[in-house]
Structures are given as C-alpha cells and as structure tokens.
Structure 1
C-alpha cells in the first residue's frame, strides 16, 4: 500500500511543478551602461549613470516590469569607440543582454555594428541597445537596426525645432556655427545651414568651425573668431567639458551673442555660465522641469535630496517605462520579445505622450526650447547646480513639428 502511495505522489508533484507559471520566478534585468566614467567627460557620464540607477530604483519599487527588477552597472569606455567594443564584449561575457549608451554618436555607431554581428552569430543570446543621447540621424536612417532604440530626439529633429523658433526672431541676422569634429558635429552644421536657408534665407552664416572632441582646453581663439565675425547668434552641438569651456571663454571675453545649444543643461555647463549666460543661452531638448505644470518635480526634488545633484536626463524615465511595459506585456525578459513589444509603443512620459516609431526605432516626442534665467519662483522654480539660475520654457513644440522622414530599411528577425 505504501509503495502504491509513493508511485502516485511523484506524478502529482511533477504536474504541480509544471503548473507554476513562468512569471513566478522573477528575473534581474542586467543592463550595462557603457559611457565615459573617467577623463574629460567623466562628470557627465557619472551623473547620468546615477540617473539611470535612480529611475531603476523607482521602477523596481513600483513594479514597472512586474516582478522583474532592473540592475544598471557602469562600464567605463573612456569616451573611446574602441574601448566601448572591449566593454561590450566584457558585458556580454558577464551575461548582460541590455546595453545603455548615449555620450557620443561615434561610439553608438560602433556599438550598433558590433551588436548586429553578435546577434547574427549568437541566436538565443541576442543583445538590445537603448540609446539615450547619441543623436546622429544616421543611427535611425542608413545605419538603423532592429536591436537599437533611440529614446532621445535626433539632431535633425532638434535642429528642426530650434530653427523653427529662430526663424520667428527678426533680430537674428548673423549666425556662427561651432561644433565637435565627429559624426554628430558634422550633422549639426549640415542641418543648421540647410534648415536656416529654407526658413530664413536672409540669415548669414558668418563662421563654421569644427574642433577636436575633448581636446581643446582653451576656447579663447575660437571666441575671438566669433567676435570678429560680427555674429549675433551661435549654434553649437557641443556637450560636456567642450561646451562648459566654450561658454566660460565667451564669458571671459564678454561675448554678447546669444547661444542656441543642445546641451547647456548638462553637468558643468550651468556653473560655467552663471549670471553671464542669463537671457542669452538657450537649449533645445525633450524636457524641462520648469514646464507648464512642473511635471516631474517630485523626481527632481527626490534626486536632489539623495545626490545633491540635478536630474535632467529624462530619457532614463522614458526608457525604463517602455522597457518595463514591454517586459510586463510579454511576460518575458528576452530581448527579442522586448524589442518587438517596444515597436510602435506609446507611453505617457514626463513630456506628454511619446511613441517609439516602428519604422526606425526613433522616439517621437514633444520638444522644448528654454532660456537660462534667474529663478523667480513662478515659471522658473528649479535652478541648476545651485547657481540660482534655471531654465524658463519659451515654447513646447508638439511631436509633429520636429518629426523627420526616415530612410531606414529595417531587417527584423523572423
């Protein structure tokens, strides 16, 4: 009798085990953040890594990905495409299947190529790339990849917004363009000339300079050229130390031109500007905490309290919100399933409704233009880097204003 009972209990136990749903075992979604954590751009990279980790804590607490949790670890690429490929290999060898990167389109292009090759050679071990700031348009055009998702607006989208705003200002007559000499810098100067010619052919381009990225310590010779050109406006895609040092040199030379930037809200630049940049420096981006309803202020305040630093890379929020939703909907952390789920996805982010365009994996989202202004407690409540100055929203542009066509011919896994 006892033997018969034992023979019955094993199949029942086995059946019960197989009846447990797969979601009962939660996964840790390991994400490798490959960006500069040392060198000239280290302050930017370190600050953004903290932002990703901060939002991951929120996502985990609020179960954005169901029972699964996000873990984000930094891998220092020293700003080098070659070092980035070494770090990618190291991350993959350690079991990471999600890559985050943003600082440098040259790096992003190298990573896309390497990830495409890895995924082709290693079915079942695919890797997905979340790009939060590498904005070369080629990444979602000729170089587009199923494995790459950009959650920032590309440089053409930002230039479309910027020049649409500039076109309405009759005081702009002479523009000087200065940027970093790599793929992104080239795209900025191309788009600035092309879009201004279309919208305001009367505006003169009085200068166009490209300088080595991360190598110029003194921008005074460049500022002297800007001053001599008679420019009333400067357009620059510079970021990190290259923008902070450019603004610092302009301040020291008492250059009175207005600056239209992409990245004046990034680490180190607000301090370099101080009072001298007030009412003269603008940026075009996908969010500003001093928005019409101060959406996201709770995150800004919590981040400030925790790190005594500023939360400004809102793509971290959008990126994990989308990934969490994809994981929850598919009940899977497999990058292939997550990628398919993210195609065409719409979510309500801090800047309104955003959509991951299926055709090219380029996020479509509203954009802001804002001006560096003294905190006034009304439309500028939040400052940056304890300067007493923050960003006043000039205009919020709907997604369609900056939308660009795509030449992407997406190849999807079967």
Structure 2
C-alpha cells in the first residue's frame, strides 16, 4: 500500500477515540525544536584563540567530516534541516562568533560578530537561541566562573553574560521571534566542600547583577540551567536544581530542565507538571544520559515519549521551549541531528495521537485497569503510518530513506574535509 493508503487506514483507528488526525498534523508543524549547533563541530567553536574543551564537558569519537568553520557548520545544519519536518530554531553558543581573524575576548563580543548567523537564519526562516560560554577558557580553568572568589574573574564572566543577552536581544529584533538565552556554568568542587553557602551567595549576586541590565523581554527570554555534577565537580555543584528553581521562580526567569542533569533514576518528565503550576513558561534540553550526563543522541525511548506526553496532555505546547543537547563524535554528525530531532517530533506526535482526556477521566474515576490496558494497547497503534504521511506532506524523506541523503552528503562533502 502507498503512504497515503496506510495513513487513511491508521487514521480510522485514531479517529474512533475522537482524535482529528489532520488537525494534529497542522498543530505539529507549528512546534519548533531548538537544534543545538554544537553537535556539528564537537563544541569547538570558532574563536581565533580556540581553547581545549573543558568545564566538565567531553566529546568522544573522531568520525570524519567535522565542521571546521562557520560556513561548513551552516551547510551541515541546512542538510540536517532538509531531512527534518517542520520549521525549527538553531541554538548557538557564544564561541560561534565570527570575528574576522581578530582576537575578541568573550566579555567583548557584540551583535556584529553574529551578523552572518542572523542573515543565514533570515534566509532559512529560522529562529535563533543563545548561550553564553562559561567554559573552555583560561578564566574558567579552575572550574569556577560566576561563583569565583576572585572578583575580577567574576566580573569578567558577568560582562560576558550581559554581552550575550544583548546579542540575543539583537537576534530577537532581527528575526521577529524571542530568543532564549540560557545560562549554564560548570562551577563546583571535585571533593567535599567545607562551605556550600558562600559560593551560592556569590552566584546569586552575580546573577542579580547580570539581570539588573535591562534587556527587552519581547526579544530575549532568560533561562537558568542546573546540573547534578560534572567532571571535576563530582562532589558539589554551585548551581544545583534547588538553587536555580528557587532563583527562577523568585526572579521571574525560566528554569531549564536538562534530562541528563539529574540522578540516574530521576526524570524531567516528572518535573514538568509541577513547574508549570508555578511558572508561565519552561525550557528543556532533551538529551539521553546513558550513564549520568553522557549526552547521547535522543532516541524514542520511554522517557522521551513521557516528555512528549507531559507537554501535550497538559496543553503546554506554547509554554515549553524544547531544545536538544547531545553530542556524539563517533557517528555521522548530520545523522545525529536528524535522528535526535525527528525523534523529538515523533514523541510529540505520539502524544498528540493519544486520547489524553479519556485517559485522564479514567484516572479520575479510579478505573486504573482500563487506564493501564489502553495506555499499553496504544503503544502498538499504527503511529508509524501517521508519521510517514506527515514526513511526505512536509517534503522530507519518509522512513529511513533520509539516511541515503546523509550517505551521499558524506561522500560528496564531508569526506573532502581535513
């Protein structure tokens, strides 16, 4: 049978639950995913005085074809985006500035250093998000930045973060869509600290100073991201979940939940509904922590499906800013983007094809038998036929056929890079 015939047969099964599949697909195509640029070059960036990767972050693998300059990275992103249904966003770090060979330290970056990114985003109809880069720098060598006991170092990183928020504001003005600026820092200690409070006081004071600089919230939205531990900060991280949750709620900032930044049995899908009770918006970095924060390519596993369900059944598609965060240099990087982003969209589609209102009522009625039975039976509904049709309608490859395009691009483009 054709993709269309399979779709029509599958649609009938979902429609018996009152789901308008055509409306679902219309809604889905308007949900943007923020795709992280750093999968394409292993978080190297393009600073003239490029530093070795540090700050509790590591990328393993040496698959050929890594992007080595902004033009290559944008070309690779375009290829990945051509294989992913919908219109999306690209998430940049400050180290992806283009300074025309001039050494510009991070506290001196300006919007002009991202003009090429903005022009590219306009051409491709994309939004941009942003992150200050508080790692891989001599002033972060000891694993402390905004919480550093040395005021001069703290002030440097404060200036860098303020500059980053101004760049994000520029993105928002130029592209007509608000930019999310997410602050993550590596600060912490390898061994048991003798004082947990003082570094957190310094971090709070640094954030207060950063946010005292007014940036138009129409164009820039601030978020803060916690972490459980990092390489070199195994015993204590200054910016814990409790620290940032309290700071975000008290100061009207977005909390960003990264699915790799918690205990191995702790999942962000279980946090989404709680945060939405107290915050109008929420941000996510969706990753796959095989062993702690290992940032593997997102697959359609139980947690990803549950993240999609929590967003959809709580009517939060316009309240949750979904971004991705993984890096794997052991496989083709364009394939990594494509697999991860398509899976995030699949999770949302799966959730939108679920009779969530009916299942909620079963729970309210105490009918846990039928609730469990239906939730399990729905897992083998012909979801794939709806997905294939959606891809076909959006003009991207159906099924695994996208892999042929990646292989061709690798042969004609990636293999020729040094």
Alignment TM-score, normalising by the size of structure 1: 0.29
Alignment TM-score, normalising by the size of structure 2: 0.28
**Structure having greater relative contact order (Cα 8 Å, sep ≥ 6):** 2
Question: Whose helix proportion is higher, 1 or 2?
Answer: 2
Whichever of the two has the greater Rg, that structure is 1
